[in-house]
Amino acid sequence: MTVSKRLSIPEGSAYMLKLLKITSRRFYTAVVKISCSWKLLQLLIVPYALGLVSFLLFLLILFSNFQAVEAGLWGTALKGGWMREILTYTIIPVIAIFGAVMVIFGGFQFILEKMLTLVLSERGLAIIERRELLRSTWRVVGELIVSFVLLGAMLSIMLCTILIPVINMVVAVLTTLYLGTDILRMCLSALRMRVGTQWNIICRYFLEIGAIGFVTGIIVTIPVIGIFLLPVSFLACAEAIADWIEQGDVDLTECITYIR
């Protein structure tokens, strides 16, 4: 679903409502798939485990160094007092969640191809095999490093501006857009798609990607539970890719074949 012309207010409202319905359906389908597919659950064990362990480790490290974290967060602001301690106790779990999210993103980089294979196979589709193991491995590692750096920067900026009115809203919007874009980029990379082609698809479906990023941003902010719900966003993105293939997207059909 793309927007090829400037929409009037009524048309824009109808389009956004349609986009909301499509995004809701994709996330609902993703939840059902996770609940009913043992193969998917097996794939998710490693990212889930990494996310949980990293979350607990971040909490342990941060609370063990509470005074250093407090000083690093506030410096000379909010000198002493119970307010400073309460704010620090509140933000430490948020930092731990963001750190765990980064670890989960890294874990998903290595299982996305199998996840996409399962989702696409239900639609009668399959990823075209290309024998580029060495190049693909280095590409995945490189993209993982870039993703870690960019995601870490976005989440850090979001955390630092969380208490600043207006600015925190702008940063939150940019972060959710980045989340959606990065999730799609990771999925397209799993399809072994060229970077230039990935960018074309991102531009073509920008609003749909933004909707996925928006829901993902909400999921990420849910304490603890958000870590376990994050895989739903990847499956929702896989559903979006399957929809675009069925709609005849030229770039995507170059990476996909139909199962006879």
Helix axes 225-246 and 81-108, enclosed angle (nearest 10): 40
pLDDT confidence band for 134 (50 / 70 / 90): very low
What distance in Å separates the CA atoms of residue 175 and residue 151, rounded to the nearest whole number? 8
| Tokens found for residue 173 | 């919007």
* pLDDT (0 to 100) of residue 9: 57
Structure-derived torsion over alpha carbons of residues 32, 37, 38, 39, reported in degrees to the nearest 10 = -130
Is 24 contained in some domain? no
Residue 82 above 80 pLDDT? no
Which one of 66-75, 81-90, 161-170, 207-216 scores highest in mean pLDDT? 207-216
What distance in Å separates the CA atoms of residue 237 and residue 65, rounded to the nearest whole number? 38
Residue 135 above 60 pLDDT? no
Question: Considering the entire predicted model, what is its pTM?
Answer: 0.76
* pLDDT (0 to 100) of residue 78: 59
Is 238 contained in some domain? yes
* pLDDT (0 to 100) of residue 10: 58
Instruction: Render 4-16 in DSSP notation, one character per residue.
Output: -SPPPHHHHHHHH
Is 4 contained in some domain? no
pLDDT confidence band for 140 (50 / 70 / 90): low
Helix (H, G, I), strand (E, B) or coil at 77: coil
Is 17 contained in some domain? no
Is 163 contained in some domain? yes
C-alpha angle with apex 232: 252 to 48, nearest 5 degrees? 115
Instruction: Render 31-44 in DSSP notation, one character per residue.
Output: HHHHHH-HHHHHHH
pLDDT confidence band for 60 (50 / 70 / 90): very high
> In 3D, which of 225, 115, 122, 217 has the Cα closest to residue 174?
217
Mean pLDDT score of the chain: 79
Is 16 contained in some domain? no
Region 12-28 average pLDDT: 83
- C-alpha distances in Å from residue 136, one per residue of 84, 109, 191, 194, 257: 47, 12, 11, 11, 20
Residue 231 above 90 pLDDT? no
pLDDT top residue among 212 and 192: 212
Is 119 contained in some domain? yes
Buried-state track 63-79, b at ≥16 Cβ within 10 A, e below 16: eeeeeebbeebeeeeee
> In 3D, which of 242, 245, 254, 233 has the Cα closest to residue 23?
233
pLDDT confidence band for 4 (50 / 70 / 90): very low
> In 3D, which of 200, 158, 198 has the Cα closest to residue 177?
158
Is 237 contained in some domain? yes
Residue 138 above 70 pLDDT? no
Number of domains in the chain: 1
The one-letter code for the residue type at 238 is A
Q: Tokens 């600043």 identify what position?
A: 164
Range of the domain at 102: 37-258
Tell me: the pLDDT tens digits for 40-51? 888 888 888 888
